[in-house]
Amino acid sequence: MKLLFLFFLFAAFNCPGQTTSSSINVDGIPQNLTWVNKPLDWSYSNKQLTIVAGKNTDLFADPQHEYAVFNSPKAVFIPDKNFQLSGKAEVDFKTDYDAAVLVLYAGDEAWAKLCFEFSPQKKPFVVSVVNNGLSDDCNHVPISGNTIYLRISGLGNNIFAFHYSTDGKYWNMVRYFSINTPKQIKVGFSSQSPTGDSCKSVFSEINYNTVKLKDLRNGE
C-alpha cells in the first residue's frame, strides 16, 4: 500500500486528468491513441511505444481519503465491446512504485490499471488497482527481471479481466471485475513514477483483437 507520507509529496499534483491534442497511430490498433495528461517524453518506432512519465506521477485515490493523484500520462482509445489488448512491458525501474501500466479509464472516478511495478522491497511485482470512486490496491506476484507481458480483456457490459504472462503464451489471471460508470471506458497504456523524477516504460509486441475471452482461468 502507498504510505501516508505520499500525501504531502503528491498534494501539489492533485488535479483532474487533462486531454492533450497529440495522438499516436499504433500498428494493429484501429484508432489513434490520445493523451490524457502529457508525458515527459514519448515515442513510437519499430512497433514499440515508449512513455516517459514525469516526476511524482500516479493514478490513485486512497481509500482512507488521505490523498488522490490523477496525473499519470495515459495514451488511450475507445475499444470494441469485446476485446483483448496485450503487450510486453519493459521498465527502467529506479524508485518505489515506478511502473508500466495497461489502463482502463473513464475519468478520475472510474478506472482500473494493471501494473508492472517496483515495490518498496526493491522487487518488481504485478499489481492491480480498481477504482470505483476510491481505489483498492493489490500486489499479486513478484517477477524476476524487468519485463513481463500484460493483458486486458473486455467482456462486455463494463466487465473486464486482467492477466499476466512470462512468455506471452500462457496467461495467468490476476483479476476479474467490473467498473461502475455510465461513461465511455477507454483502454490503453501508461507509465508512472509516484516517488521519483521519471519512469521509462516500453511496450512492444502490442496486440489488439476483438475476440471475446472464453475462459478466464485456463491460460488461454
Nearest to 3 by CA among 94, 143, 142, 120: 120
Verdict on whether the full-model pTM lies above 0.85 = yes
DSSP string computed for 80-145:
PSEEEEEEEEEE---STT-EEEEEEESSTTEEEEEEEEE-TTS-EEEEEEEEESSB--EEEEE-SS
List, for residues 23-76, the tens digit of each pLDDT value.
Answer: 899 999 999 999 999 999 999 999 999 999 999 999 999 999 999 999 999 999
Let me know if residue 220 belongs to a domain.
no
* Cα separations in angstroms, 156 against 3, 83, 135, 179, 184: 35, 9, 22, 11, 12
What does the alpha-carbon distance between residue 155 and residue 177 come to, in Å, rounded to a whole number?
Answer: 10
**Which pLDDT value is given to residue 50?**
99
Q: Which three cell numbers stand for residue 198?
A: 521519471
Let me know if residue 190 belongs to a domain.
yes
Percent of the chain with pLDDT over 70: 90
Let me know if residue 108 belongs to a domain.
yes
Let me know if residue 219 belongs to a domain.
no
Beta carbons within 10 angstroms of residue 29's beta carbon: 18
Consecutive H or E run containing 6: helix 6-10
Whole-number mean pLDDT of the chain?
A: 92
**Which pLDDT value is given to residue 3?**
42
**Which pLDDT value is given to residue 2?**
46
Let me know if residue 98 belongs to a domain.
yes
**Domain interval for residue 67:** 6-209
Whether the per-residue pLDDT at 7 is higher than 90: the answer is: no
Q: Which three cell numbers stand for residue 2?
A: 502507498
Let me know if residue 1 belongs to a domain.
no
Whether the per-residue pLDDT at 11 is higher than 80: the answer is: no
pLDDT band per the 50, 70, 90 thresholds, residue 18: low
List, for residues 100-140, the tens digit of each pLDDT value.
Answer: 999 999 999 999 999 999 999 999 999 999 999 999 999 99
Let me know if residue 216 belongs to a domain.
no
Number of domains composing the chain? 1
CATH number of the domain residue 106 falls in: 2.60.120.200
